[in-house]
Amino acid sequence: MPFNLSSYLRDVPDFPKPGILFKDITPLLASPEALREAIKCMAALEWEEEIDRVVGIESRGFLFGVPLAMELELGFTPIRKLGKLPWRTKSVEYSLEYGSDTLEIHQDGVEAGGRVLLVDDLLATGGTMRAACELIEGIGGHVVGCVFLVELTALGGRRQLANRHLESLIEVD
């Protein structure tokens, strides 16, 4: 029987604000078997081009991006919130489903022409990943694809990333 990763998600109503049904991944993170399976599944995905670097989006993208980079024997670059990186950065402001934010990457986080796999835990409206793609391309990188643990299909995030190769391990309405 295949491993059921979705059984490790927990619904938390009205978080972070009323009307939001939050998909909590901490039960999956608490299970070594489920976490290992998620990383193995991400590593087994096929992309149209070779990947040079894994880039994860703060903060839960780090939880999957670092072990995925290790599994693929690649380096990892973090994309962080404004003011969290210690060196010269490039930034982009973006909208999300309940506000706005700014993301940053070190200017040398990806080599010119470097082929990047972007990782985050969740695809909702797509604004965060779209901003991350802009950051990668703004420093001369090339986004090969984007991978997510969970995709909230009802929020239509794929439309924001229509020209991107996207993969998600779990799809929920």
What are the tens digits of pLDDT across the range 143-160?
A: 999 999 999 999 999 999
Checking if the pLDDT of 112 tops 90, the result is yes
Joined together, the tokens standing for residue 104 give: 């940053």
60 is catalytic: yes
b (16+ CB within 10 A) / e for 125-148: bbbbbbbbbebbeebebebbbbbb
80 is catalytic: no
Checking if the pLDDT of 45 tops 90, the result is yes
Cis peptide before 16 (omega within 30 of 0): yes
Confidence of residue 2 (pLDDT cuts 50, 70, 90): low
Checking if the pLDDT of 98 tops 80, the result is no
**Per the residue annotation, which of 60, 80, 115, 130 is the catalytic one?**
60
**Per the residue annotation, which of 97, 111, 134, 167 is the catalytic one?**
97
Instruction: Output the pLDDT for position 71.
Output: 98
pTM (2 d.p.): 0.94
Checking if the pLDDT of 173 tops 60, the result is yes
Does 3.40.50.2020 match the CATH number of domain 44-172? Answer: yes
Joined together, the tokens standing for residue 42 give: 């991400």
For the chain, what are the domain ranges? 44-172
